Amino acid sequence: METLASLGEILGGIGVLISLIFLAIQIRSGNELARADSQRQARHAWQENLFYMSDNCRDVREFCMAMKECSPIHR
pTM of the model: 0.53
pLDDT tens, 13-37?
A: 999 999 999 999 999 999 999 999 9
Domain of 31 in residue numbering reads as: 2-74
How distant, in Å, are the alpha carbons of 48, 51, 58, 63 from that of 54?
Answer: 10, 5, 9, 14
Residues in the chain: 75
d(CA 48, CA 56): 12
pLDDT at 55: 84
pLDDT at 8: 92
d(CA 65, CA 56): 14
Number of structural domains the chain divides into: 1
Whether 2 has a pLDDT exceeding 70, the answer reads: yes
50-59 average pLDDT score: 84
